[in-house]
Amino acid sequence: MRGRIIKGIGGFYDVLLDSGETVTCKARGRFRNEGVTPMVGDLAEVSIPETGYAALDEILPRTNALLRPPVANIDLLVVVLSASVPKPDWLLADKLLIQAHTLGIEPLIVLNKIDTAKPEIADQFRADYAAYRTLLASSRSGEGLEALKSALTGRISCFAGQSAVGKSSLLNALFPELSLETGALAKKTDRGRHTTRQAELWPYLGGAVLDTPGFSLFELSELTQDALNDCWPEFGGAYENCRFAGCRHLAEPDCAVKALLDEGKLTQTRYARYVEIQSEIEEKKKHRYD
Ligand SMILES: Nc1nc2c(ncn2[C@@H]2O[C@H](COP(=O)(O)OP(=O)(O)OP(=O)(O)O)[C@@H](O)[C@H]2O)c(=O)[nH]1
Ligand SMILES: [Mg+2]
Ligand SMILES: [Zn+2]
């Protein structure tokens, strides 16, 4: 029988079968010998004996795999930002978009807490992410929830974003049966610790949703300059027209990316974050062998 692993604890895996039934399985011993660790999100072949535990027999090839949380086969990355408190961490959002692009996961960017938004934040959101699929939402007022629900239908979706932006609240608003724990913001820093600590896949709407405390697939320092350029859809490949091959789009003459700024096709803020991430990557590369 075939199914999807939705939870794994101590060598036991809950597998949602195509029939809609969930069985707890033990992984075959040979997985360890072969260096295969079953992951939440994996599609698996399962056998169910008359007595005793069901067994995970086979893990089917993955389309992608995240490191933190360890989840496989994600179709959609829902990047959540808050429109008020905490202040949007645009840099984190851009880094998540880089991760999604690099792994071929479709992104959806959600500006939550739109019920308390400052207009300039919503304006910046719209301008910065004009090249992406975006949604204004509020788990409080219900705005954007229908659109969010239809985006999730039939997909394996992963929610990510800084603490207290309302990832769990959005999921609770869509699926009240989940009753995920939600938290208030730690007062001092506007940052807070993540209330959500465990990665678990919740089957819904012919797909599944994953509420995560964080999200990380690979080290940004492994990205080449070209790969980074491709992570900014606004560039539209314009960087190939820069006068210098390997142009870093800083102060080089005849830079096609800086021309996009003048034409209003690239916002100053997105450009500034490109520069910041580029320099972060270069810094890390320098110290790679320290
Ligand atoms: N005004 C307003 N507050 C919201 C909204 N959504 C969530 N909140 C509040 O924001 C706080 C944090 O929400 P959570 O859902 O716990 O945030 P989270 O993103 O899951 O946070 P972590 O699990 O820590 O990563 C809670 O106090 C929620 O009530 C919203 O749309 N509008
Ligand atoms: Mg949460
Ligand atoms: Zn350039």
Q: What are the residue ranges spanned by the domains of the chain? A: 2-59, 76-211, 220-286
Distance 251 CA to ligand 3 centre (A): 8
Pairing of strands 76-82, 106-112: parallel
- Ligand 1: atom nearest CA of 172 is 15
> What per-residue confidence (pLDDT) applies to 184?
63
Query: Would you tell me how many other CB atoms lie within 10 Å of the CB of residue 61?
Result: 8
The pTM score is: 0.90
Which homologous superfamily does the CATH classification assign to the domain defined by 76-211?
P-loop containing nucleotide triphosphate hydrolases (3.40.50.300)
- Encoded amino acid at 62, one letter: R
Distance 40 CA to ligand 1 centre (A): 25
Q: pLDDT per residue over 18-50, tens digit each?
A: 888 999 999 888 888 888 889 999 999 999 999
Distance 160 CA to ligand 2 centre (A): 9
CATH fold of 2-59: OB fold (Dihydrolipoamide Acetyltransferase, E2P) (2.40.50)
Angle between helical axes of 268-286 and 119-128 (0-180°, round to 10): 70
Evaluate if residue 150 carries a pLDDT over 80.
yes
Does 183 contact ligand 1 (Cβ within 6 A)?
yes
Q: What is the CATH number of domain 220-286?
A: 1.10.40.50
- Contact between 145 and 137 (Cβ < 8 Å): yes
Evaluate if residue 70 carries a pLDDT over 90.
no
> What per-residue confidence (pLDDT) applies to 69?
74
191 pLDDT band (50/70/90 cuts)? very low
Quote the mean pLDDT of the chain.
Answer: 89
Q: Which of the ligands is closest to the CA of residue 192? A: 1
Q: Which of 96, 139, 209 to mutate to test the pocket of ligand 1 (most atoms within 8 A of CB)?
A: 139
Distance 253 CA to ligand 3 centre (A): 8
Q: Which of 169, 212, 216 to mutate to test the pocket of ligand 1 (most atoms within 8 A of CB)?
A: 169
Distance 166 CA to ligand 2 centre (A): 7
Q: What is the 3-state secondary structure (H, E, C) of the chain?
A: CEEEEEEEECCEEEEEECCCCEEEEEECHHHHHCCCCCCECCEEEEECCCCCCEEEEEECCCCCECCECCEECCCEEEEEEECCCCCCCHHHHHHHHHHHHHHCCEEEEEEECHHHCCHHHHHHHHHHCCCCCEEECCCCCCCCHHHHHHHHCCCEEEEECCCCCCHHHHHHHHCHHHCCCCCCCCCCCCCCCCCCCCCEEEEECCEEEEECCCCECCCHHHCCHHHHHHCCHHHCCHHHHCCCCCCCCCCCCCCHHHHHHHCCCCCHHHHHHHHHHHHHHHHHHHCCCC
Q: Which of the ligands is closest to the CA of residue 113? A: 1
